Structure 1
Amino acid sequence: METKDGLHVWEDHFYPEIVDPLTDEVLPGGEEGELTFTTLTKEALPVIRYRTRDLTRLLPGTARPAFRRIQKITGRCDDMLIVRGVNVFPSQIEEIVLRVPSVAPHFQLELTRRGRMDHMAVRIEARPGVGPERRADAATAIARGVKDGVGLTVEVEVVDPETLERSVGKIRRVKDLRREG
C-alpha cells in the first residue's frame, strides 16, 4: 500500500527484513541495509528471504500502524564499493559534487591499492571558464564533503572540461584498478 510517506508492506502476506548486505545478519529496526522478503501465504512456490538488492530501512507504519513502511530506496547493493572498510556509493559522491557550483556533474572514481591500503581518487570536470584558484577551492570542498559525509579521505583532482573518458556519451563512474595492481 502506497502513502505519501512511503510504501507500507502487507505483513499478513509478506515478512520484510533488513539484512547487512555483507554478512546477511538481520539488522535491528531502523537500521539501513538490504531489503529482503519472505512470502507467508504463497503455497506453490514460497519465497524465503528474497534479496531485492535495494538499500533502505523499515520504519513504523502510519496508514496502518500494524504494517511497517519502507523508507525511500537509497541505493543498490550492486553499486556499493568498500574502501578501507567504509561502504561508499557513487550516488553519495554525486550528491557532494552537485553542491559545488564550479564543477560539472561529470566525475569518475578511481580505486587503487597502495601496499595493503585501498585508495580512492575522485576526478571531476571543471565547468568551462573556471580558473585554477576556484578549481583548488572546489577540490578542497569536495574532499572535505566526502570526509564529513562518507567518512573517507580521498584525493580530488579537478580536470579540464570534456577530458574524462566517455563511452557513447556516458562516463564510466568507477574504475576499480585494485585487482590489476
Structure 2
Amino acid sequence: MHLEPATTADIPALHGLIESAYRGDSARQGWTHEADLLGGQRTDAEGIEEMIVDPRQALLIFRDGDSIRACVALTDQGDNLAYLGLFTVEPGRQGTGLGRLLLAAAEDQAITRFGATRIEMTVIVQRRELIEWYRRRGYAVTGERRPFPHGNPRFGLPNRDDLEFLVMEKRLI
C-alpha cells in the first residue's frame, strides 16, 4: 500500500471521507462508525489543515485513482512515541482488508518518519469491537483512560455522558 502526504488541496475530499466514515447514516455502511455514540462533526477543515501543516504530524492518504479511500494521522510525541489517530477507511471498503494494510503502512511510517519504537492510540471505551480488532493487530490496553472532550462541538456531540478514551499501545521495534 502506498501512502502519500495529504496536501491542502485534499482538504475537501478528506473532510467528506472522514465525516462519511464516522458520522451519520453513511457511516453505518461500515462497522467502525461512532454514529450511535456521537452526533455533529468528527473534525473540520481547519483541524485537517492544522495536521497537514504541522511538521510534527503526518496526515497520510491512500488514493485509488483520483479518489481518497483512506487516511491516517500520525503525531510525533517525542521519546520514540508516535500517536495514531483519524484512522479512516471509506465505509463501503471496510471489511475488505484495507484497514489492516493501512494500519501496517502507518506503523511503518511512524518508524521511518519519526523514529518511533512505540505507537499509541485512543479508542472510545464503548467501542468494544474496535478495541478487539486493534488487539488482534498487536495493540495492548495500557490501563490508562483519558477524558472525552465533552462540551467541545469541534469533536462531536456525545449522545451519552460516559464517553472516555481507552489508551492502547504497540511496540514497533
- Greater Cα radius of gyration, structure 1 or 2: 1
Higher relative contact order (CA 8 A, sep 6+): 2
- The reply to whether TM is greater than 0.5 is no
Q: Could you state the TM-score of these two structures normalised by the residue count of structure 1?
A: 0.26
Higher percent of residues as strand = 1
Q: Could you state the TM-score of these two structures normalised by the residue count of structure 2?
A: 0.27
Higher percent of residues as helix = 2
